[in-house]
Structure 1
Amino acid sequence: MSPIKDFCVTYDAINEEGTFSSGDPLSGTVTFTLTKDTKVKCLSVKAKGDARVHWTEGTGDNKRSYSAHRRYFKLKELLLAENEKGTVLPKGTHRFKFRFQIPQGDMPSSFKGLHGKIVYMIEVKMSRSWRLPSIEQNEIKFVSRSVPRLDQMVSTQFGSVNKEMGMFSKGEVQMSASANRKVCSPGDTLSIVANVKNMSSKTMRAKFSLQQKTVYRASGSTNSGDISLCKLLGDTIAPNSEVNVTCQLEIPADVIYSLQNCDIVSVDYYVKVYLDISFSFDPEVVFPLIIIPSSLAKLQPVEAMGPNPAGPFWGASNSDFPPPAPAGLGAYAYPPPVPTQPANISSGYNNPWPQPATQYGFSIPTFPSSSVQHPAPTAPPQFQQEAEPPSYMDLFPPSQDTQGWGGTNQKS
């Protein structure tokens, strides 16, 4: 029977939503109880972010699988240095503190779909001689700071369509529609007005729907799906009449944010306004829609800002800490990455550490006392930055997963 009980890893929330963004501090505690003195070979904690897609097409001899993998970052901290002879921990409750800083970069938000997922998590691993390692994970919700270019956003959308009726009816139908905004957050209400001129002998109804389109990409192939999140039905429109049909379309509170900064999976939204006409092709008007976190919408009102920026605007951090100074911004309007510390000879890992702690006013939180309290790891000395640091993609190049779908406990 294993002497390890209540093995878990927790993290400290930095805002009410419990979300994290690039550049945010990530700290927490690894806790476990030992029922007897136990020799531990190594105790480590990782923070990592990965995107994976996988699907299968065809049957029999024509069956083929498609997979792709992107790693955005992986940080590792040794809470107990690796020792072949092992370190004896006494019986009782143990708490180890850890601290990371999520790297800067244009990383996508957390996502889970039918054929893929984007997951950010903390993983703790305890190794003992002649025993399978004990592993525990805790997923964190990551929210991207990347927002589509402002010059692609307009405060009002308008579209129109004309259709001549076929052999079953005479006349023509004209419809124009407009929406009051192009950028929304979950729980917002979108106002839509459709003007319909029914110059035919047919009765018809206006319909409104919010559509979500997800596209997965791997090995040069794509797999896409289009679903309707909600639909609303307008009143009947009589023949030879002209009416204005209004619609208040509420964005679902649990909707996934627009995902446009991942090369193997994307999520887009659009509003479809169409006329339901029996025995006839339904004319429609389509509006693209961008859904962003409410925290970004409140602090950076997209539609109130001017057009034609130099690039994506500074999204508000999900942290309560102030954002980095805008000076020296790199690609995607983020500060350049911090140089990493020298490799840990005992583990072979590089562990990027944040800029001086006073930049964010970050301090290690206090925790309840226990039978055994272990100090937090000591930060390495700061290095002078003499040359332009490498870009994020240079530090963390994308990789291609050719082995198929990876599980949460795969070797990484």
Structure 2
Amino acid sequence: MSIKLFSVEYDQVNERGTFSPGDVLSGSVTVVASKETKVQCLMVNAKGKAEVKWYDQNGRTTVLHQDEENYFDLEYIILQDKNKGDGSEIIRQGRSVYPFTFVIPNTDMPSSYDGKWGRIAFSLQAQLTQSIWSIHKTRIEFPFLTKSEFPFGSKSEMLIIGLQERQCATKISFYGSGKVTLNVTSEKMGLTQGETMEVSVEVINSSNRVVTPKFFLCEKQLFVAQSEAIMHTNEILFGKGESVSARSSRTISNVLSIPPQLNPTFLNCSMIKLEYTLKVTLGDPLARDPDIKLPLVILQASSQPCHQKTK
């Protein structure tokens, strides 16, 4: 019990506090010992990986779906006994600080992300081994931001071409003997975090009911493990438009604002993907086929910090 404190920390390289491919990741390990202590090894690992995990219930059987992908696993040895086992390295009494430095591989990797059944995490783990019966570990995550402006993998060319193009869609919904026609137009498909966009909805209400268009941001998280996939969806209410009376028409324009803390779209991870759509609906359970969905791509804002969770 001579080790009273064991911690690891890193130095920030920018105002965001994020790291990207090719960056130098420096930090230090702090050890506080109540007396002079012999150790076998003191080391630090820098890791980046994606992992997914979920359970399916098949009758009485529970099936585990799990997989992971490693992006890098770097090792830095601070202290190691020369005879590999005699514990000849000494940590002095009191507080000792040991610096370390890594260079993050300059390859395409997705940003840090926490999802429903998976996450992409980048971490530092320090380990102090006194003997096979006495091992101390400490871990901290650091936020990682991809260098790719468009992290869309194989879909990049198709998506990039359409990011600034105007989008239009039409849908006819039936309410009993009447019908309602929706014509939806959005300024573009690609928006950065915190950006606003005007969406125009022409409502031709030939029914005998009052209808009110609603705007939703729909999030789709896809997780893949060993050829099995599971999806998690979430809807955020953007707002409501003005009501349209029976047997009347109206064009409604709403300015929608992308939440600045929203995770950007990414498709460049083999096991986790994040996509969005803009949904315009009349929100009436009596209507048949009442929704219009337009693709929406959320891009990383250059001035936005990384909003991922850390442990």
| The two structures share one fold, judged by TM-score above 0.5 | yes
**Separation in structure 1 between the aligned mates of residue 237 and residue 23 of structure 2, nearest angstrom:** 35
Partner of 2:137: 135
Query: 1:229 matched to which residue of 2?
Result: 236
Separation in structure 2 between the aligned mates of residue 206 and residue 236 of structure 1, nearest angstrom: 7
Q: 1: distance between equivalents of 2:285 and 2:270?
A: 41
Corresponding residue number in structure 1 for 2:163: 154
- Checking the alignment, whether the CA contact within 8 Å between 1:34 and 1:90 is kept in structure 2 is yes
- Asked if the contact 1:159/1:286 (under 8 Å) is kept, the reply is no
Separation in 2, partners of 1:129, 1:76: 20
The answer to whether the 8 A contact 2:163-2:297 is kept is: no
Question: Mapping of 1:97-108 within 5 angstroms?
Answer: 97-108=99-110
Q: How many residues align?
A: 296
Please name the residue that 1:4 is paired with: 3
Which residue in the other structure is 1:271 paired with?
Answer: 278
Question: CA deviation digits over 1:190-229, x for unaligned, max 9?
Answer: 2211111223322211110001001111121111011112
1:176 aligned to 2:177? no
Counterpart amino acid of 2:199? Answer: I
Kept in 2, the 8 Å contact 1:159–1:285? The answer is no
Which of 165, 186, 207 is matched with 2:174 structurally? 165
> Residues 81-96 of structure 1: matches in 2 within 5 Å?
81-82=80-81, 83-86=84-87, 87-96=89-98
Question: Partners of 2:8 and 2:129 in 1: how far apart?
Answer: 15
Structure 1 residues 260 and 278: alpha-carbon distance in aligned structure 2, compared to 1, 3 A threshold: closer
Q: Which amino acid aligns with 2:36?
A: D
Which residue identity does 1:247 align to in structure 2? N
Kept in 1, the 8 Å contact 2:116–2:232? The answer is: no
Per-residue Cα deviation, 1:220-242 (whole angstroms, up to 9, x for no partner): 11110111123311111012222
Amino acid at match of 2:174: M
Output the CA distance in 2 between the equivalents of 1:281 and 1:14: 54
TM alignment of 1:260-299, pairs within 5 A: 260-277=267-284, 279-295=286-302
Aligned amino acid, residue 7 of structure 1: F
Task: Read off the aligned partner of 1:242 and give its amino acid letter.
Answer: S
- The CA deviation at 1:61 is 3.9
Cα deviation code 1:112-135 (max 9, x no counterpart)? 122111110001100012532111
**Contact preservation (8 Å) 2:38, 2:91:** yes
What is the aligned partner in structure 1 of residue 193 from structure 2? 186
> Which residue pairs with 1:390 in the alignment?
none
- The residue identity in structure 2 corresponding to 1:84 is G
Q: Which residue of 1 aligns with 2:37?
A: 38
The DSSP-based 3-state class of the residue aligned with 1:142 is coil
Please state how far the C-alpha of 1:255 moved relative to its aligned partner. 1.7
Question: Does the residue aligned with 1:20 lie in a helix, a strand or coil?
Answer: coil
Residue 198, structure 1, aligned to residue 197, structure 2: no
The alpha carbon displacement at 1:185 in A equals 2.8
Does the CA contact (< 8 Å) of 2:167 and 2:187 recur in 1? no
Equivalent pair of 1:157/1:287 in contact (CA under 8 Å): no
SS at match of 1:239: coil
Alpha-carbon RMSD across the aligned residues, in angstroms, is: 2.1
Which piece of structure 1 moves more, 5-14 or 78-87?
78-87
Contact 2:173 2:290 in 1 (8 A): no
CA shift for structure 1 position 94: 0.8
CA shift at 1:182, angstroms? 2.1
The answer for unaligned runs of 5 or more in structure 2 is none
Please give the residue correspondences for 1:18-37 in structure 2 after superposition, counting only pairs within 5 Å: 18-37=17-36
Identity, in percent, stands at 28
Measured in 2, the distance between the counterparts of 1:233 and 1:58 equals: 39
Instruction: Map Cα deviations across residues 329-350 of structure 1 (whole Å, 9 max, x no partner).
Output: xxxxxxxxxxxxxxxxxxxxxx
Displacement of 1:151: 4.5
Q: Which runs of 5+ in 1 are unaligned?
A: 298-317, 319-407
Q: 1:65 to 1:164 in 2, by over 3 A?
A: closer
SS of the residue corresponding to residue 123 of structure 2 reads strand
Q: Where do residues 382-393 of structure 1 align in structure 2 (5 Å cutoff)? A: none
- In 1, the alpha carbon distance for the partners of 2:47 and 2:289 equals 47
Q: Distance in 2 between matches of 1:209 and 1:37?
A: 62
**8 Å CA contact retained: 1:198, 1:239:** yes
Comparing 14-23 with 240-249, which one deviates more in the overlay?
240-249
| Match of residue 338 from structure 1 | none
Call closer, same or farther: CA 1:60–1:232 in 2, change over 3 Å.
Answer: same
Q: CA deviation at 1:23?
A: 1.1
* Distance (Å, rounded) in 1 between the aligned partners of 2:142 and 2:71: 14
**Once superposed, which parts of structure 1, at least 4 consecutive aligned residues long, lie more than 6 Å away?**
none
Residue of structure 1 equivalent to 2:55 = 56
C-alpha spacing 1:278/1:264, structure 2 compared with 1 (3 Å): closer
TM-score (norm 2): 0.88
